[in-house]
Amino acid sequence: MTSPLTSPLPLSPRGRAFKALALAPEAPLADWLARLDASLTRSPSLFDGRAVILDLAAWTPETDALAALVAELSGRRIRILGIEGADPSANAAGLPPFLVGGRPDPRFVPPLPEPPPTSLTIEGSVRSGRSIVHRDGDVTVMGSVSSGAEVLAGGSIHVYGALRGRAIAGAARNPRARIYCRKFEAELLGIDRLVRTADEIGPTLRGKPAQVWLDGGALRMASLD
C-alpha cells in the first residue's frame, strides 16, 4: 500500500501597507526620554504591539548616540522597525534599516546583480519565414537556418547545419560575439551594428565550415577547416 505524494503549495508573497507610530526625539535627549517615560507611566501599553518608526528630523545623532537611543527604547519594550531622516554617516551594523519616505533608503540597498547571460538551443532547423530573437545570450541551432529565416542573438550564434538565411550576433552591443556554422551559405551576416549581404561576402567560403567575427570595426571571416 502506498501513500499519495504531496507537494508544498508555492509561496505567493503579497505587498501590504501598515500604519506605524513615529517617535521624534529631540535634544536634550535626557529630557525627551523623561517625557517619554512619563507617557509610559500613564499608558504602560502605549507601544505594545505597535510598529514604531524613529523620525530624526529634529535630532542629528552620531552613530554611537543613535545606537544607544535604540537600546534605550528597546529597554522600554519599544521596538524600532526603521529610522527616518538619519544622516548616512550614522548607519552601522545592528541598527534598524534607514528609510526615506517610509521606504528603504536606496543608498543602503545593495543593487541586484545582473542576471547572467542565458543560452537558447533550437532542437532542429529554423524554417523559412521564421525569426528567432534572443537578446540575452547565445543561440545554438542544432539543424540549419533556411533561406528566408533569421536568427538574432545578443551573444554568439552556433549553427550545426547550413547557414542559408540571416544571422545577426552581438545584438546586445557585444562586439566580441561570433557566428559559427558548418556550411556557410548566408544571405546576410551581422555582428554588433555591422552587417554584410551575400553580394558583399563573396563565394570564397561558400559551402565550407566558417566563423565570422568583428576585428577593428570590420567583419572578418575564415574557414574552420
Question: Looking at residue 133, which CATH number applies to its domain?
Answer: 2.160.20.70
Domains identified in the chain, total number? 2
* pLDDT over threshold 50, residue 1: no
Burial bucket for residue 83 (CB in 10 Å: 0-12, 13-18, 19+): buried
CB atoms within 10 A of CB 177: 24
Residues 139 and 209 in one domain: yes
Q: Which three cell numbers stand for residue 58?
A: 529634529
Cell of 185: 551559405
Min mean pLDDT across 37-41, 58-62, 173-177, 181-185 is at: 58-62
User: Average pLDDT over the chain, rounded to whole?
Assistant: 88
User: Looking at 79, 108, 137, which one is the last position of a domain?
Assistant: 108
Do 161 and 188 lie in a common domain?
A: yes
Of 52, 74, 108, the residue that ends a domain is: 108
The phi, psi pair for 52, rounded to 5°, reads -125, 135
| Spatial distance between the Cα atoms of 201 and 185, rounded to a whole number of angstroms | 10
Residues 204, 125 share a domain: yes
Q: What angle do CA 195, 127, 145 make, to 5 degrees?
A: 45
Are both 103 and 132 inside the same structural domain? no
Regarding whether 212 and 147 lie in a shared domain, the answer is yes
In a domain, 2, yes or no: no
Q: Tell me what percent of the residues of the chain surpass a pLDDT of 70.
A: 92
Report if residue 13 sits inside a domain. no
pTM of the model: 0.52
pLDDT attached to residue 60: 85
Domain that holds residue 161: 120-223
102 and 131 inside one domain: no
80: alpha, beta or left, given left = phi > 0 and alpha = psi -120 to 50? beta
What does the pLDDT look like over 114-128, one tens digit per residue?
Answer: 777 789 999 999 999
Q: Which residue, 20, 17, 15, is CA-closest to 82?
A: 20
CATH number of 72's domain: 3.30.70
Beta-strand pair 52-55/80-84: parallel
pLDDT at res. 4: 45
Whole-number Cα distances in Å, 165 to 67, 130, 179, 183, 184:
66, 10, 13, 12, 10
Domain stop point among 108, 130, 156: 108
Q: Which three cell numbers stand for residue 191?
A: 555582428
Same domain, yes or no: 178 and 135:
yes
Whether the pLDDT of residue 18 is over 80: the answer is no
pLDDT at site 112: 72
Question: 97 and 148 share a domain?
Answer: no
What percent of the residues of the chain are helix, what percent strand, and what percent coil, each to the nearest 5? 15, 30, 50
The per-residue pLDDT for 94 is 85
| Residue whose C-alpha cell is 539543424 | 143
Structure confidence at residue 9 (pLDDT): 55
pLDDT-derived band at 106 (thresholds 50, 70, 90) equals confident
Report the range of poorest mean pLDDT among 37-41, 47-51, 71-75, 143-147.
47-51
pLDDT in tens, 28-54: 999 999 999 999 999 998 888 888 999
Name the H helices within the chain.
29-42, 63-75, 198-201
How far apart are the C-alpha atoms of 13 and 30, rounded to whole Å?
42
